[in-house]
């Protein structure tokens, strides 16, 4: 826990939290750091989320102590949670939660400042999240064996009797498996298999998928757990990937499900830290072959999935909409799904400048760059067991980006250089013919890469040729 002590000592927020813990102790209470910060410190990982549980003080007393450090805000009176304005730390009283069908997400909250930590920690989902750290004495409290589970790489329910009270815990287990490369024990898998995710709002499901895909070191572990626990039944678009065959020449690794898991892990290694791009990349990796169940067939003895790119758009939208993913992200993911084969096909077929510029233009309209498209194509190629993939090579992707660079395609995609005002300046009156002329100008621009609107208009309006189109 030395890393955690250093953080509390060296970080401005940590020093304030430590000082508040000392003030709580001086009033006869006890302040424990709980949850993810303790878990992450034991794993040697940084954590910005600090949650403090206080014992021995009632809510008015805690509020009075916190008031010495700033303006106190009540997050939830019935939950016993307070904050200090400008300090992103929750200060809560210990409590018991029980499922009732009413109240906060159907829970009854019983706040009890005299509760001991062992009983208070029992409401937490997993033992690795039920460890406390005394802010003043540095004592580690581990009543449910979370430290041993961390060391063993094991995920275990803190209280099997109450675990199922929040079905979302099934997805939390999946994302913890992906993030920490830990294995749920048999009892936890059994408990999760009995959960009903259908009652949960899409926003909560989407939040856990985001964590699984954006924070997971091996996202495949989370998806494998959904399969093993049969929670995947609540995501039929993913469930249908299992058992869909692929041609062994291109996919010696196995069926579409196995390939998708490998692509997810490959994509995780290509994340850059940009939240928007990483989300598009990872959800596209998850969805890129959702069209194969509907299109896979045997043609002349070979397994083919013709048109699976476009066929994947409806199930992609259906899945992401249920997860309440933003329309902007759904559009970006759809473009990546639709064009995930383009980098390879463009290079194989010797696509010309117009094809590259038209593709860049279409992608840019949805906030997608050529570089991001190449990353999903790279993940798709490396997420298999071909010789090229095993060597970590994707020569087509490199050639695709090099061609785009040679054509000087801007990151935001080509912009139309000929506009309506240019036509008006030529004495043309606005009419339906405007659209035809502008479309022709766009074709010339994409083919030749010209940026002079007058030069393009001369060619389109007069038919003067300056070399073959």
- What local confidence, expressed as pLDDT, does residue 46 receive? 81
- What local confidence, expressed as pLDDT, does residue 103 receive? 39
pLDDT digits (tens, 9 = 90+) for 295-326: 999 999 999 999 999 999 999 999 999 999 99
- Kindly state the tokens that stand for 207: 């939040």
Picking from 289, 409, 299, 272, the residue whose alpha carbon sits closest to that of residue 354 is 409
Between CA 102 and CA 452 the distance in angstroms is 66
- What local confidence, expressed as pLDDT, does residue 10 receive? 74
**Residues 394/358, Cβ–Cβ less than 8 Å:** no
Between CA 38 and CA 41 the distance in angstroms is 5
The parts of the chain modelled with pLDDT lower than 50 are: 102-104, 464-469
pTM of the model: 0.87
Scored b (16 or more CB within 10 A) or e, 222-238 reads bbbbbbebebbebbebb
Between CA 362 and CA 414 the distance in angstroms is 9
- What local confidence, expressed as pLDDT, does residue 465 receive? 41
- Kindly state the tokens that stand for 296: 């896979």
Q: Which domains does the chain possess?
A: 2-146 (3.30.460.10), 255-406 (no CATH), 420-462 (no CATH)
Residue with tokens 């010495």: 68
Between CA 60 and CA 27 the distance in angstroms is 12
């Amino acid at each position: 826990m030395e890393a955690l002590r250093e953080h509390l000592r060296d970080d401005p927020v940590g020093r304030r939290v430590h000082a508040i813990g000392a003030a709580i102790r001086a009033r006869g209470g006890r302040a424990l750091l709980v949850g993810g910060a303790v878990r992450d410190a034991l794993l040697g990982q940084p954590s910005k989320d600090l949650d403090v549980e206080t014992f021995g003080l009632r809510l008015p007393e805690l509020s009075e102590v916190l008031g010495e450090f700033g303006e106190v805000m009540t997050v939830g009176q019935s939950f016993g949670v307070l904050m200090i304005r400008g300090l992103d730390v929750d200060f809560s009283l210990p409590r018991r939660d029980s499922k009732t069908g009413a109240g906060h997400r159907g829970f009854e909250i019983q706040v009890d400042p005299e509760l001991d930590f062992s009983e208070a920690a029992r409401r937490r989902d997993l033992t690795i999240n039920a460890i406390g750290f005394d802010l003043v004495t540095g004592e580690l409290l581990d009543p449910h064996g979370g430290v041993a589970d961390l060391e063993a790489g094991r995920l275990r329910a803190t209280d099997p009797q109450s675990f199922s009270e929040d079905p979302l815990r099934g997805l939390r287990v999946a994302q913890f498996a992906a993030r920490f490369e830990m294995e749920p024990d048999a009892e936890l898998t059994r408990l999760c298999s009995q959960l009903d995710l259908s009652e949960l709002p899409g926003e909560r499901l989407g939040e856990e998928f985001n964590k699984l895909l954006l924070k997971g070191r091996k996202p495949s572990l989370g998806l494998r757990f959904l399969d093993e626990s049969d929670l995947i039944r609540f995501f039929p678009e993913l469930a249908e990937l299992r058992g869909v065959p692929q041609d062994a020449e291109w996919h010696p690794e196995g069926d579409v499900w196995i390939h998708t898991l490998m692509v997810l892990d490959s994509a995780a290694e290509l994340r850059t830290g940009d939240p928007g791009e990483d989300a598009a990349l990872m959800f596209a990796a998850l969805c890129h072959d959702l069209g194969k169940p509907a299109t896979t067939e045997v043609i002349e003895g070979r397994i083919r999935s013709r048109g699976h790119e476009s066929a994947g758009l409806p199930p992609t939208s259906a899945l992401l909409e249920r997860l309440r993913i933003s329309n902007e992200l759904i559009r970006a993911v759809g473009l990546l799904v639709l064009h995930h084969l383009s980098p390879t096909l463009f290079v194989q077929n010797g696509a010309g400048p117009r094809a590259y510029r038209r593709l860049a233009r279409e992608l840019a309209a949805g906030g997608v760059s050529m570089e991001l498209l190449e990353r999903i194509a790279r993940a798709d190629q490396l997420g298999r067991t071909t010789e090229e993939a095993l060597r970590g090579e994707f020569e087509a992707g490199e050639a695709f980006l090099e061609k785009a660079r040679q054509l000087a395609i801007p990151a935001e995609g080509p912009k139309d250089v000929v506009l309506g005002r240019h036509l008006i300046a030529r004495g043309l009156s606005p009419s339906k013919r405007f659209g035809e002329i502008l479309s022709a100008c766009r074709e010339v621009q994409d083919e030749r890469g010209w940026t002079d609107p007058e030069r393009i208009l001369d060619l389109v309006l007069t038919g003067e040729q300056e070399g073959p189109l």
